[in-house]
Chains A and B, each alone.
Chain A
Amino acid sequence: MPSPTNENGETEVRVISAPGVLGSGFRTESIERGMSMNPHFIGCDAGSTDPGPFYLGSGKTAFSYHSVKSDMHALITATREAGIPLLIGSCGTAGGRPHLAVMRQIVTEIAKEEELSFKLAIIQAEQEKEYLLERLGAGAVTPLGDLELTAETIQRSERIVGMMGEEPYLKALDEGADVVIAGRSSDCAIFAGLPVRLGVDPGIAWHAAKILECGGAAAVSRPAPDSMYAVLRSDHFEMEPLGLDMRCSAQSVAAHSLYETADPYKLIESSGTLDLTEAKYEEISDRRVRVSGGKYLPAARYTVKLEGAELAGYQSVVIGGIRDPFIIRQIDDWQARLKERVDTRVQKVYGRDADGYVFNIRVFGRDAVMGPLEPVKEITSHEVGLVMEVTAASQEIATGIVSLARHQALHLPIPEWRGFITGVACLYSPAYLERGAVYRFNCNSVVEPRDPYEMFPIEYVDIG
């Protein structure tokens, strides 16, 4: 790794973030350009809750094996050639055990293909239920909102991950890791830990990290997913996109603190809170912005955010449409009558086996997007889209119920027509789509561990 002191004797840490999410791709020439700046490390965030609860619940990844491998190939070869660390956080979207297993296989394959040898650290973030139950019993779990974490919630979760801070990364680097693949992490911790260790002020480092974790997203416009470059010094940092057709402005960098956060001035991390109230943004070239004034206030107690998902059931849907103006103008009533008929039939056919099933009808053209918050009450379209969705205890029951709902919907009488009608246009044969297991996020709490490491065990593998 290069020295963290520049020719003027000042602290200087250079960082590449590539790209905002691993698997989305970036331009090879941007990474080459970044490597010519002699960076101290490359970091990358590989996960998010934004794709929804399915990935945490099922253990699957949102980006394909090949997309992730393609990005990882470029990052591993570049960092190994330069002899600098590569830190990847929140592997495989949700950062649980199965997600990390996929990443481990990708790294191993790349190393074999390229005949590389290095020390790989694998940091787990999936939590044992016994551990969480013990912490809950010790009063070390605090909810962040209205949703309480109970012992029952922990027991019925498919998977709960902890969001690690910077400490496990630093420990892995201290113990000689060249490449770190980590489970669920604070996006910022991937980028903030090492610069702080090398002498950058924590307020500067965490602010830079907040912007770096989204790759090129803080540029004025981002024509394609790409990489970001930052130089961190003792009392400020500078940032510019690595794509030469992109630029940062003071406003674009300041505005990035808004993205996907609740509070644009305060960002809560395990080890402290980033306070941007006094942050200053200054354009020092047509592409580069200098930022100062961020403060990092150490936490009074160290907490780790938990993310959990549980099975919500098995789902089947029927997609269709209605063009009949008489049905459209009575769609609320039509829907109520359909639900009643379906329920009567379900009770007769399935009895107790259907307990807890949910039949949800989404009417596109009315309020499918905003639901009860939709302020427009009148339907002005000549047709409406219909998604009939059943969630039940098994796939077979879900499909059975949605199939009888389809039949009931097709022929539901309305007073305007006398005789047997077919009132829904079904899109497919079979009309149903089986969506498999569906999950729900069930945890919005933090836990207080005994130390920043106990939840995140590290395994080392000598590759090659």
Chain B
Amino acid sequence: MAKLVDLVRLIRSKNAGPFELTFDFMFDDADNFERVRKSGVLNAELISRLYDVPIEKVQFYEVPPALAFKATIPRPFIQGDIFDGDNHGGQQYAPLIDIKVDEQPV
């Protein structure tokens, strides 16, 4: 069982405008990208659960030319509003680091 962090080049979070938060999972290696894709572990349901967002509000994309996955959710607080603790949305990805990826033949 591998961890996602051992297979990706970069996991990042960022504002997509003041009202949305977006996560990028970027790979260097097509084998690792395919391995994660085939495992099916990264999906809208996972993001919905980890970030407490109804699944219909989660956008999830596979982007093969970029060797990347992308997920977008409504921001928990509007950017910069009184209770927001991350104006750029850049530090919201930590719960994704330890996601486990099933061993599967590529």
Cβ contact within 8 Å between A259 and B14:
yes
Does A258 have its Cβ within 8 Å of any Cβ on chain B? yes
Contact of A441 among B63, B67, B81 (CB under 8 A): B81
Which chain A residue lies CB-closest to B16? Answer: A262
Please name all residues of chain B whose beta carbon is closer than 8 Å to the beta carbon of A250 when the two chains form the complex.
65
Does A336 have its Cβ within 8 Å of any Cβ on chain B? no
Please name all residues of chain B whose beta carbon is closer than 8 Å to the beta carbon of A257 when the two chains form the complex.
63, 66
Please name all residues of chain A whose beta carbon is closer than 8 Å to the beta carbon of B106 when the two chains form the complex.
none
Does B82 have its Cβ within 8 Å of any Cβ on chain A? yes
Which chain A residue lies CB-closest to B81? Answer: A440
Cβ contact within 8 Å between B61 and A371:
no
Cβ contact within 8 Å between B16 and A52:
no
Cβ contact within 8 Å between A263 and B72:
yes
Does A138 have its Cβ within 8 Å of any Cβ on chain B? no
Does B31 have its Cβ within 8 Å of any Cβ on chain A? no
Cβ contact within 8 Å between A370 and B85:
yes
Cβ contact within 8 Å between B80 and A440:
yes
Taken together as a complex, chains A and B put the C-alpha atoms of A281 and B22 apart, in Å, by: 23
Binding site for B on A (CB under 8 A): 49-54, 144-147, 250-251, 254-255, 257-265, 279-281, 307, 312, 358, 360, 362, 368-373, 375, 389, 391, 438-441, 444
Residues facing A in B52-106 (CB within 8 A) are 52, 59, 61, 63, 65-68, 70, 72, 74, 76-83, 85-88, 91-92, 94-95
Binding site for A on B (CB under 8 A): 14-20, 22, 24, 26, 50-52, 59, 61, 63, 65-68, 70, 72, 74, 76-83, 85-88, 91-92, 94-95
Cβ contact within 8 Å between A254 and B65:
yes
Which chain A residue lies CB-closest to B62? Answer: A264
Please name all residues of chain A whose beta carbon is closer than 8 Å to the beta carbon of B91 when the two chains form the complex.
369-370
Cβ contact within 8 Å between A312 and B72:
no
Cβ contact within 8 Å between A444 and B19:
yes
Cβ contact within 8 Å between A441 and B76:
no
What are 12 sample pairs from A and B whose C-beta atoms fall under 8 A apart?
A53-B79, A53-B81, A258-B26, A263-B72, A307-B18, A312-B81, A360-B82, A370-B85, A370-B91, A373-B95, A440-B82, A441-B81
Cβ contact within 8 Å between B17 and A262:
yes
Taken together as a complex, chains A and B put the C-alpha atoms of A440 and B67 apart, in Å, by: 36
Please name all residues of chain B whose beta carbon is closer than 8 Å to the beta carbon of A255 when the two chains form the complex.
24, 26, 63, 66-68
Taken together as a complex, chains A and B put the C-alpha atoms of A281 and B68 apart, in Å, by: 14
Q: Given the interface contacts A369-B85, A371-B83, does A444 sit within 8 Å of B66 by beta carbon?
A: no
Contact of B19 among A147, A263, A280, A369 (CB under 8 A): A147
Cβ contact within 8 Å between B88 and A50:
yes
Contact of A251 among B66, B78, B82 (CB under 8 A): B66
- Min Cβ gap B66→A in Å is 4
Which chain B residue lies CB-closest to A387? Answer: B85
Please name all residues of chain A whose beta carbon is closer than 8 Å to the beta carbon of B52 when the two chains form the complex.
372-373
Taken together as a complex, chains A and B put the C-alpha atoms of A255 and B70 apart, in Å, by: 10
Q: Given the interface contacts A145-B19, A263-B61, does A52 sit within 8 Å of B79 by beta carbon?
A: yes
Cβ contact within 8 Å between B50 and A254:
no
- Min Cβ gap A444→B in Å is 5
Taken together as a complex, chains A and B put the C-alpha atoms of A391 and B82 apart, in Å, by: 8
Cβ contact within 8 Å between B68 and A441:
no
Contact of B86 among A254, A264, A369, A438 (CB under 8 A): A369
- Min Cβ gap B43→A in Å is 16
Contact of A375 among B24, B50, B70, B80 (CB under 8 A): B50
Taken together as a complex, chains A and B put the C-alpha atoms of A216 and B87 apart, in Å, by: 23
- Min Cβ gap A306→B in Å is 12
Please name all residues of chain B whose beta carbon is closer than 8 Å to the beta carbon of A259 when the two chains form the complex.
14, 24
- Min Cβ gap A32→B in Å is 32
Please name all residues of chain A whose beta carbon is closer than 8 Å to the beta carbon of B22 when the two chains form the complex.
258, 260-262
- Min Cβ gap B92→A in Å is 6
- Min Cβ gap A278→B in Å is 10
Which chain A residue lies CB-closest to B63? Answer: A264
Q: Given the interface contacts A264-B61, A375-B50, A391-B82, does A52 sit within 8 Å of B87 by beta carbon?
A: yes
- Min Cβ gap B102→A in Å is 21
Please name all residues of chain A whose beta carbon is closer than 8 Å to the beta carbon of B50 when the two chains form the complex.
373, 375
Taken together as a complex, chains A and B put the C-alpha atoms of A145 and B74 apart, in Å, by: 9
In the complex, besides A52-B79, A439-B80, A441-B81, 16 extra interface pairs with C-beta distance below 8 angstroms are A49-B17, A50-B15, A251-B66, A255-B26, A255-B63, A258-B63, A260-B16, A260-B22, A262-B22, A265-B61, A279-B65, A370-B85, A370-B92, A371-B76, A373-B76, A389-B82
Which chain B residue lies CB-closest to A440? Answer: B81
Please name all residues of chain B whose beta carbon is closer than 8 Å to the beta carbon of A373 when the two chains form the complex.
50-52, 76, 92, 95
Cβ contact within 8 Å between A441 and B78:
yes
Taken together as a complex, chains A and B put the C-alpha atoms of A261 and B17 apart, in Å, by: 8
Which chain B residue lies CB-closest to A51? Answer: B87
Taken together as a complex, chains A and B put the C-alpha atoms of A175 and B16 apart, in Å, by: 35
Q: Given the interface contacts A251-B67, A257-B66, A262-B16, does A370 sit within 8 Å of B82 by beta carbon?
A: no
Please name all residues of chain A whose beta carbon is closer than 8 Å to the beta carbon of B63 when the two chains form the complex.
254-255, 257-258, 264-265
Taken together as a complex, chains A and B put the C-alpha atoms of A372 and B76 apart, in Å, by: 9
Please name all residues of chain B whose beta carbon is closer than 8 Å to the beta carbon of A312 when the two chains form the complex.
81-82
Cβ contact within 8 Å between A368 and B85:
yes
